[in-house]
Amino acid sequence: MPAISGPPPTAGERRPTGRALVAGAAGFLGREIVQAFSRQGWEVRGLIRDPSKADRVRSAGGVPVVGDVLDRATLQRHSEGCRVLIHLAANPTMDPDLPELEREVRVQGTVNLVAAARASGARRLVVGSGYWVYADQPGPITEVSAVDPQGESRINFDTERAGLEANAPSHLEVVVVRPGMVYGDGAWFRPVLEAVRARTYRVIDGGRNAWSFVSLPDTAVGFYTVALDGRPGEIYNIVDGNPRPWIDFVSYVAARVGAHRPESESFSEAVAKYGPTVATHLRANRAASVAKLTALGWRPEYPRFEEGIDALLAQMGLGAAAPRPPPTG
């Protein structure tokens, strides 16, 4: 089977298509990735645990297949004929006392996908992780910057390792993706939005710490780009390239839905509320670089969160409460 990877496409060039399997296909990221591949002409099998979620996959243009990443035999069957396997099965949580099952789903799930790929001849495995594995540090954070994975990120980091250890370019090419704060209708964005509207949301120490954002559709196209063109054994950040203080993001969201700018709380108040691991995460600086992904030809539709949030709120039937503030850079 020819390699999928290669130089970035030139304008009008036909990209390879084939069959892909997305694990976690009914999830926040997984569903959008099913859609990104199917729009490019791929036949996408969306692995779901719960058959009642089949419509989420179908409406994204995929074919639902029922199974669990912890069930090797089923995974292998669903991987037959696939060129690309993508691991986004997870049970994300802010709880630092993670159930052992989550480690199983992420790490053992990767090992099982590697085995399924080897048995079925799939060429590529894309392992979804997150940019929270990076240490609190001044930016720009590149893929070789210091890491300090804690809590859920520890599991994502171990998941990355399990994938990268299996990278063997002549057999199976493994690439890892670290998205930043992915905003879309779901995941963390909904609860933050609801808390902002209810005036219960608090930033920590003024919220001046820089984070990196990226819209859900841009993230999905980023996964597609890395799946086709990422170099085997490599890690890629997916962020919009314009890191900003967290307070700017939540204040913008608040203004657009007619809510007040969120107030601040001290770090010790945040520790009392969330525990030290999560509070430390929330206060960290993570201004990430996207240069490596951009070199593959990826360009975000929303390079600044203002446009992305406007589009998202419009899609959610919200927004336009306040006149749009002028860009601040």
Ligand X SMILES: NC(=O)c1ccc[n+]([C@@H]2O[C@H](COP(=O)([O-])OP(=O)(O)OC[C@H]3O[C@@H](n4cnc5c(N)ncnc54)[C@H](OP(=O)(O)O)[C@@H]3O)[C@@H](O)[C@H]2O)c1
Q: Does 130 bind ligand X (CB under 6 A)?
A: yes
Q: Scanning residues 89 to 108, which ones bind ligand X (CB under 6 A)?
A: 89-92, 105
CB of 286 vs ligand X, minimal distance in Å: 11
Element (H, E) at 293: helix 291-294
- CB nearer to ligand X: give 242 or 264: 242
Pairing of strands 210-211, 244-245: antiparallel
Q: Name the phi and psi angles at 142, rounded to 5.
A: -105, 180
Stretch that binds ligand X, among 47-55, 165-173, 244-252, 298-306 (CB under 6 A): 47-55
Tell me how long the chain is: 329
- CB nearer to ligand X: give 148 or 269: 148
Residue 166, token pair as written in the block: 């299996």
Helix (H, G, I), strand (E, B) or coil at 85: strand
The only residue of 15, 19, 49, 77 in contact with ligand X, by rule CB under 6 A? 49
Which among 152, 238, 254, 164 has a CA at the least distance from the CA of 203? 254
Integer Cα distance of 301 and 170 in angstroms: 34
Q: Does 211 bind ligand X (CB under 6 A)?
A: no
Residue 179, token pair as written in the block: 């998205």
CB of 44 vs ligand X, minimal distance in Å: 15
Integer Cα distance of 179 and 220 in angstroms: 10
CB of 105 vs ligand X, minimal distance in Å: 4
Helix (H, G, I), strand (E, B) or coil at 263: strand
- CB nearer to ligand X: give 92 or 303: 92
CA 36 to chain centre: 13
Q: What is the pattern of x (binds ligand X, CB under 6 A) and - over residues 149-168?
A: -------x------------
Q: Does 23 bind ligand X (CB under 6 A)?
A: yes
Q: Does 53 bind ligand X (CB under 6 A)?
A: yes
Integer Cα distance of 188 and 123 in angstroms: 33
Stretch that binds ligand X, among 18-26, 160-168, 295-303, 313-321 (CB under 6 A): 18-26
- Binding footprint of ligand X on the chain (CB under 6 A): 23-24, 26-30, 47, 49-50, 53, 68-70, 88-92, 105, 128, 130, 156, 179, 181-182, 187-188
